[in-house]
Structure 1
Amino acid sequence: MSRTTLGTTVRELRRMTDLDAVERLHARIWGSAPGSSPLTAEVMRALAHSGNYVAGAYEDERLVGASVAFFAEPVGTSLHSHITGAVMGRGVGLALKTHQRRWALDRRLTRITWTYDPLIRRNAHFNLAKLGARPEAYLTRFYGAMDDAVNGGDESDRVLAVWDLAAPVPAPAVDVPADAAYVLRDREGRPQSAATDADTVLIDLPDDIEALRRTDPGAARAWRLAVRETLGGLLAEGARVVGFHERRRYVVRRATDPSLPRRSPRP
């Protein structure tokens, strides 16, 4: 299946020459050491051959993005998108996700899941605001130690995003009630936690966690632990992330069941 979106042509890939190109592209995007791309061409070949999703995005026949996904639980309803890499700023990521969504719907699937680093603002905005996916679980140190240029020097915490394929795209603008309160706020580049009983709470993110890892590892570590404590704790209690506000903060609605414990982050 091939589809053109926003000037980008996306098509399924099966030939080893195409998959070798994807492996090289992903290595460049992630800044991986030679021979340690996030996913090998051989594995992509096996996934494509067995009916899973492997697609590349092209501009004038030049590879500018690629995505790999496989069938997941619940069986018959879900696709798990393991990796998507694209050049930034030209709508390539959206073209890939649009193609992936159509591919899944053609197979009568109802949802796509993937993981992403909850500290990276542009990814949170893309996943929640542009696509309408929602984080459902916080996964601590999910991939173990990683040494690529994007993730090196930090722990690989992820959130599991779930994209309901029946939901509107893009997502409706998030409604932040007047009585919403911060549980985590950016104070001069550092995270500051606060205790609150508000039903809707806000969680700030740093301006650029990837740059912060290089320039101030201590601050980057503080942000990792603070978001793990607040967002991770709230999701574990049954809270729902309902949106991403002003490209910089999660909007979270606490569970309304009074039998569930309510926990505030440590200030």
Structure 2
Amino acid sequence: MSITIRPVTGYAEYTACEALQRVVWPDSVVPLNMLYTAQNNGGVVLGAFDEATPGTPLVGFVFGFMGRDGNNPIKHCSHMAAVLPNYRDTRIGERLKLAQRDAVVAQGIEVMTWTFDPLLSRNARLNIRKLGGITRTYKDNVYGPDPVPDDQLPSDRFVVEWWLNAPRVLTRLSHPEQAPSVAELLEDSILLNPDPMLPSLPIQGKRLVLRIPSQIDALRESDFARAKAWRGQLRMAAKDAFDLGYHIADFASDEGYGYYLLVHEPV
């Protein structure tokens, strides 16, 4: 496999971005005219192309644009990052985010934000552990519907803040092998939610840990009530911790669970 990351150009490649979105998100497609307009007005649209396959197909892409939060300086809002299913777990998503970072840093922008489902271990590992993002904002049911049907989970999201030139980020990017084990993450920490069917523990201390299932999609199919309990418990515990000044600073996982580390210290 030989993957090249570069800006998307031309009608055929923008159309390929549309087609890839239909595979990953069948009900939500950003059309090529919006991708083109954003890319030519300060936005970023990067593709991952498989050079080893005839026709050099697009197998992944990222898309983002400039934005701002209230009175804060300009930021980059990363809206989409997708990789075809048969190319996942090959670091393409990570490479796309790093290339996006390079493009945004070249614009003089210091922070990038995006959202992800807090119950997805794969995304947490990339966003928090590998890239060095933090989160201190929880958003309920971002994409609806409202009310949520009984057979669906609310579309809750963490907001990732990626401070592109922060020392902690540069350290993570230059020393990816220094990831903590679950035991190291739990050491001197309070595990707030050992069981989703029971109340969380009181929030206290400098280091907290929130547990999530490692395979929420499989759990949703096999035991929906338990998956829903994870969603509700994590929502309440995370929002309470964020309100008290904690933020998520690290992540580790084993075969059964993922673990978010929350700290009460300056970002």
TM range (shorter): 0.7 to 0.9
8 Å CA contact 2:132–2:249 kept in 1: the answer is: no
Tell me the distance in 2 between the aligned counterparts of 1:39 and 1:212: 30
Q: Is 2:30 the partner of 1:39?
A: yes
SS at match of 1:184: coil
Taking a change above 3 Å as real, the CA distance of residues 145 and 19 of structure 1, as seen in their structure-2 partners, is farther
What 5-or-longer segments of structure 1 have no aligned partner? 1-5, 147-151, 257-267
Q: Any idea what the Cα deviations from partners look like across 1:79-127, whole Å, max 9, x if unmatched?
A: 0100100131111101101110110111111111110001101100111
Tell me the distance in 1 between the aligned counterparts of 2:131 and 2:20: 24
Q: Residue in 2 aligned with 1:184?
A: 193
Q: Residue in 1 aligned with 2:160?
A: 161
CA offset at residue 17 of structure 1?
Answer: 1.9
Deviates more, 1:108-117 or 1:229-238: 229-238
CA offset at residue 255 of structure 1?
Answer: 6.3
Q: Residue in 2 aligned with 1:99?
A: 99
Q: How does 1:1-267 map to 2 (within 5 A)?
A: 7-30=2-25, 32=26, 36-60=27-51, 61-73=56-68, 77-86=74-83, 87-145=87-145, 153-166=152-165, 167-168=169-170, 169-170=172-173, 173=179, 176=185, 178-186=187-195, 193-195=200-202, 197-246=204-253, 248-254=258-264
Percent of aligned positions with the same letter in both sequences?
25
What 5-or-longer segments of structure 2 have no aligned partner? none
Tell me the distance in 2 between the aligned counterparts of 1:57 and 1:164: 24
Tell me the distance in 2 between the aligned counterparts of 1:51 and 1:199: 40
8 Å CA contact 1:117–1:158 kept in 2: the answer is: yes
CA offset at residue 186 of structure 1?
Answer: 4.4
Higher helix share: 2
Alpha-carbon RMSD across the aligned residues, in angstroms, is: 2.4
CA offset at residue 239 of structure 1?
Answer: 0.8
Q: Any idea what the Cα deviations from partners look like across 1:241-262, whole Å, max 9, x if unmatched?
A: 1211236101112469xxxxxx
Deviates more, 1:166-175 or 1:9-18: 166-175
Tell me the distance in 2 between the aligned counterparts of 1:180 and 1:102: 35
TM norm structure 2: 0.81
SS at match of 2:144: coil
SS at match of 2:141: coil
8 Å CA contact 2:66–2:77 kept in 1: the answer is: yes
Aligned length: 240
Q: Give the letter for the 2:248 counterpart.
A: V
Q: Residue in 2 aligned with 1:265?
A: none
Q: Give the letter for the 1:163 counterpart.
A: W
TM norm structure 1: 0.81
Tell me the distance in 2 between the aligned counterparts of 1:145 and 1:19: 29
Tell me the distance in 1 between the aligned counterparts of 2:39 and 2:249: 34
Q: Give the letter for the 1:203 counterpart.
A: L
Tell me the distance in 1 between the aligned counterparts of 2:260 and 2:237: 11
